[in-house]
């Protein structure tokens, strides 16, 4: 009995000594923020978000409340508390033959739509459209209010295709809306509000996406800052295979065949890969925006150039 007690005490001492060191090591791991963009765009994108949500890992999604499939996305996301939700402020509609327009309707914001009532197809066409700032405010407010009325906990806003932060006037408006609705702003490549570094996989060729991503999250994360990686995912489907991006030549083959589906499937597969899952807790600690912002005062937003 005495020997058993001594062994127990010995083991207890070892556990006490080891646990703080382990916890300290975990605390020193770089923080990785994964943000899935364009949720609500279509069914395939929503299904990809659910596959990621089922892993139980904390991550964030930016949801396009102006898109036709946002209601399905809302139903899905209500089931996964590990997912933090933001509003992907949308002022463009970039797919050939698959378009969307303003939440407020074309007559309420005529300077934001083309001749058939859809948002412009590119950042340049938006910039040249003669948009009126009061109509931009009306539309973006409506998108945020639709999000808040959905029943989801909304944590932040961010700009689809960068537009809502693309000029000093639009940035000031986005910051005004963040203050008004008590939301944070997720970082963009050019500007950060909470010190995040920025990386996105969208422009990486299909053949090298996974390798570049795994190398980045395993060796290049900043240990002193949250590290945001923006991902675009989708599951294979006929609807994804037919989507032609009207802005980017790299999203279409030389013969015109769309490549968006392959890009997004590849990005989903790398997130679900055993290699990536094995790194969590060893190379980095995954967090979402709700966790990042816990305890922070988001009423004072200060933009910093993201260099």
- Per the structure, the count of domains in the chain is 1
In a domain, 25, yes or no: no
For range 250-258, the mean pLDDT:
86
Is residue 269 very low, low, confident or very high in pLDDT (cuts 50, 70, 90)?
very high
For residue 304, being part of any structural domain is answered with no
List the beta bridge partners of residue 146. none
The Cα-based distances of 151 to 49, 73, 300 in angstroms read 18, 12, 25
How far is CA 151 from its chain centroid?
19
Q: What is the CATH number of the domain that holds 159?
A: 3.20.20.370
Question: What is the pTM assigned to this prediction?
Answer: 0.90
* Planar angle of CA 165, 170, 172, nearest 5 degrees: 95
Please check whether residue 22 lies inside any domain of the structure.
Answer: no
Which pLDDT tens digit goes with each residue over 118-137?
999 999 999 999 999 999 99
Residue 39 counted as domain residue = yes
Going from the C-alpha of 257 to that of each of 10, 199, 253, 262, 267, the distances in angstroms are 66, 27, 5, 11, 19
Q: Is the pLDDT of residue 248 over 90?
A: no
Q: Is residue 66 part of a domain?
A: yes
Alpha helices in the chain (DSSP H): 2-27, 43-53, 70-77, 123-127, 133-149, 168-181, 209-219, 238-241, 260-272, 274-279, 289-293
Residue 45 domain flag: yes
Give burial (CB, 10 Å; 0-12/13-18/19+) of 209: buried
Boundaries of domain holding 75: 33-298
pLDDT digits (tens, 9 = 90+) for 38-58: 999 999 999 999 999 999 999
């Amino acid at each position: 009995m005495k020997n058993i007690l001594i062994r127990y005490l010995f083991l207890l001492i070892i556990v006490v000594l080891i646990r703080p060191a382990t916890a300290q090591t975990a605390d020193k791991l770089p923080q990785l923020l994964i943000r899935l963009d364009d949720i609500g765009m279509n069914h395939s994108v929503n299904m990809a978000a659910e596959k990621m949500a089922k892993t139980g890992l904390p991550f964030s999604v930016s949801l396009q409340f102006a898109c036709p499939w946002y209601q399905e996305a809302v139903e899905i996301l209500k089931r996964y508390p590990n997912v933090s939700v933001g509003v992907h402020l949308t002022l463009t509609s970039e797919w050939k033959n698959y378009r969307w327009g303003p939440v407020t309707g074309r007559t309420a914001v005529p300077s934001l739509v083309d001749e058939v009532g859809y948002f412009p197809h590119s950042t340049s066409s938006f910039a040249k459209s003669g948009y009126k700032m009061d109509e931009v405010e009306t539309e973006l407010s409506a998108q945020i209010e639709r999000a808040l009325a959905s029943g989801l906990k909304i944590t932040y806003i961010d700009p689809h295709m960068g537009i809502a932060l693309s000029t000093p006037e639009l940035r000031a408006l986005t910051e005004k809306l963040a203050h008004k609705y008590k939301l944070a702003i997720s970082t963009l490549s050019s500007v950060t509000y909470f010190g995040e570094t920025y990386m996105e996989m969208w422009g990486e060729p299909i053949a090298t996406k996974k390798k570049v991503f795994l190398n980045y999250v395993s060796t290049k994360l900043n240990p002193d800052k949250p590290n945001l990686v923006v991902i675009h995912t989708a599951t294979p489907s006929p609807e994804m295979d037919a989507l032609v991006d009207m802005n980017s030549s790299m999203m279409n083959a030389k013969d015109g065949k769309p490549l968006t589906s392959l890009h997004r499937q590849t990005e989903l597969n790398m997130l679900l890969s055993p290699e990536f899952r094995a790194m969590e807790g060893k190379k980095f600690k995954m967090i979402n925006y709700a966790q990042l912002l816990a305890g922070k005062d988001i009423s004072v937003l200060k933009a910093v150039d993201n260099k």
